[in-house]
Amino acid sequence: EAGVVQSPRYKIIEKKQPVAFWCNPISGHNTLYWYRQNLGQGPELLIRYENEEAVDDSQLPKDRFSAERLKGVDSTLKIQPAELGDSAVYLCASSLDQGTQYFGPGTRLLVL
């Protein structure tokens, strides 16, 4: 069974540019999570979806970040415009209901 797929794996952009990350969860998993992980720190939840509904987006900086999960499967996370402080690893995870979370390999973003 395929795990959580994320793309791209790496992204380098200049500040003020837009960037988008894509996540394909494990088939059948209705809950999807986006985390940001800064160097030397643990993941921090940005947004959690149950099916297509965002049920927890309290940590998402809504002035520049947006996310969507069309049809309750794949999801995209967008930053526009990116800032230097957005450099981090963006992790996607999925679970069945609120069970064990399975993480993708992450997208490493560097903003110059």
| 51 token code pair | 């099916």
Least distance (Å) between residue 106 CB and other proteins = 6
| Residue selected from 2, 27, 28, 42 as contacting other proteins according to rule CB under 8 A | 42
Q: Are 112 and 14 in contact (CB under 8 A)?
A: yes
Q: Quick one: how far is CA 65 from the chain centroid?
A: 10
| Residue selected from 79, 93, 109, 111 as contacting other proteins according to rule CB under 8 A | 93
| 64 token code pair | 């520049």
> Of 12-20, 64-72, 75-83, 98-106, which segment contacts other proteins by CB under 8 A?
98-106
| Residue selected from 41, 53, 63, 70 as contacting other proteins according to rule CB under 8 A | 41
22 binds other proteins (CB under 8 A): no
102 binds other proteins (CB under 8 A): yes
Q: Which residues are CB-neighbours of 23 under 8 A, at least 6 positions away?
A: 4, 5, 6, 32, 34, 74, 75, 76, 77, 92, 94, 104
* CB closer to other proteins, 74 vs 81: 74
